[in-house]
Structure 1
Amino acid sequence: MSSVELDLRRLEPGEAPRASQLEAVPTAASLMVRGPVAGLSAVLAALLKAGRTAEVPVAWEPAADKASVGLARDLGVGSGEPRDLTLVRDDHGGVLLHHGRIEAAGQGRRSLSRRLGLQAHHDDIKVADGEITRIDVRPDWTAVDTIGVTVMTQPLRPTRHTSGRALQVASDPARIVRDGVPYVRPVHRWTWYADDRVRWRLQP
């Protein structure tokens, strides 16, 4: 095993790395990832699939976009000691680091005018039951094994925010966006959860 450096800085917004770019990840002794949040998420998903998130230190050189800068600040990249951090997963093999969204499938420029029939539970709290505009999900890096969920029922109306470990959703066809990258197809069910059995190691 060896140290592996991945330069993913050329990823376009909404683009995930190709499988060929991640071939060396499962067997690496350590990793240096350069690029946007979507690149780091994909690397951690590959480590998760290999069952090696807890043993492979990952250093990250963030891109200059707003999401990368915000996540780097939240994680304390560039400062401190190596840390074992919460891993927020979904039931389709992905990892969420900064921002997830659930909205009506077929979104276009008028996305806020589209409605989605949905029922959602955040742990044991029913946070949505009926038509909504969207749900936003963010890992809470100030807590352990926690995600924040914000439900927008209508544009320009007050939103509902909750904190907990897991969000479970059953819905009409929904579009999922994970760290800026749309999921490959509409879904009817989705779960995001902070897995208290799994950690990933950040090398600041």
Structure 2
Amino acid sequence: MSPIDSDVVLLTCSDEGQARRLPVHGSRPGGPLAAVAAVAHSVVLPARPGRTDVDPVLAEHDPRRVVVAGTDADLAAVLLRLLRTERLDVEIAYLPARRSPATAAWGLPTGAAAARLALAGDASPVPLVRDDTGGVLVGRGEIRDIRGECYCDETLVLRGHARRLVVAPGPEGVAVRAGRTGRAPDGQVRPVPIRAPRGTGSALGRAVQVGCEPTIVVADGVPHPRPLPRRTWYRHTTDWLLVRP
């Protein structure tokens, strides 16, 4: 058995995780989760953990690195607590159950490669994307059947109707694409002519501002509880530390 690294905490987020300091469940011997659990302080938390779940763990262990095992929504929830507690100097590694918008946005591996990266990889500053309702975005924001306008900085990317408007964070900032397919933004700038009566495009910048007929906004797979007439995603003044290749 490898010695425990006192600076690393593994947070396994699960619908069944109702107590702290429980053994990590659902990991086969020799699997990626077990490999990290063998050398890190392991804590099981509920899915999308909140203040009362995460903050006591941070206070007790004061970790150098947190490894989040779960979904993009779980990763966002932990990052939000680091932001709220002014602990953005804590490194975050991600151990996803499968490929996801966040792994695509940041070029992260899954499985055994993700476990190796979590334990031995280096962390680097990356843009922290926030929204105007107090949340953070780590993988994908989406609005379906949107009617309105959207700007990325000074670039118009939507006027009128689009079946999908997708926003994604990444190493270069905040990217957005409006159109029919729901494909992730590729960072290319395709503006809608400012005098056009309608149109869709894409852009990359520091902020995405949407004004529309009230509609449901989905962030990292979690729908907002009520329709919104506007939404802003923007790059925070301070980066977060992500362990990535």
Q: How many pairs are equivalent?
A: 183
Q: Secondary structure at the match of 1:43?
A: helix
| Distance in 1 between residues matched to 2:49 and 2:121, nearest whole Å | 32
Q: Percent identity?
A: 31
- Tell me by how many angstroms 1:71 deviates: 4.9
Task: Give the partner amino acid of 1:73.
Answer: G
In the alignment, which residue of structure 2 is the partner of 1:174? 215
Deviation at 1:129, TM superposition (A): 2.1
Instruction: Please give the alpha-carbon distance, in whole angstroms, between the structure 1 residues aligned to 2:159 and 2:108.
Output: 32
Q: After superposition, give the CA deviation of every residue in 1:18-71 in whole Å (9 maximum; x if it has no partner).
A: 434334355352222111111111100111122222x21222222124446535
Distance in 1 between residues matched to 2:85 and 2:129, nearest whole Å: 16
Give the distance between the partners of 1:46 and 1:26, measured in 2 at CA: 9
Alignment of 1:20-31 (within 5 A): 20-24=52-56, 27=59, 29-30=62-63, 31=66
In 1, are the aligned partners of 2:13 and 2:49 still within 8 Å (CA)? no
Aligned amino acid, residue 22 of structure 1: V
Partner residue in 1 for 2:185: none
Deviation at 1:127, TM superposition (A): 1.6
Q: What secondary structure sits across from 1:92 in the alignment? A: coil
**TM-score when scaled to structure 1?**
0.76
Q: Deviations over 1:154-179 (max 9, x none)?
A: 569x9622111110111111211111
Q: Distance in 1 between matches of 2:243 and 2:107?
A: 14
The Cα shift of 1:73 comes to 3.0
| Residue 17, structure 1, aligned to residue 38, structure 2 | no
Separation in 2 of the partners of 1:161 and 1:9? Answer: 35
RMSD of the TM alignment (CA)? 3.0
Conserved in 1, the CA contact under 8 Å of 2:49 and 2:78?
A: no
Distance verdict in 2 for CA 1:73–1:203, change over 3 Å: closer
- Contact 2:105–2:170 at 8 Å: present in 1 too? no
Equivalent residue, structure 1, for 2:238: 198
SS in 2 for 1:170: strand
The question of 1:84 aligning with 2:125 is answered: yes
- Give the structure-2-normalised TM-score: 0.64
Per-residue CA deviations over 1:117-163 (Å, capped at 9, x if unaligned) read: 2111110112222222221011133x2xx1111111x569x962211
Instruction: Provide the C-alpha distance between the structure 1 equivalents of 2:181 and 2:123, rounded to a whole number of angstroms.
Output: 41
Quote the Cα distance in structure 1 between the aligned partners of 2:206 and 2:106. Answer: 22
Amino acid at match of 1:49: R
Unaligned runs of 5+ in 2: 1-5, 17-45, 183-198
Instruction: Name the residue aligned to 1:164.
Output: 205
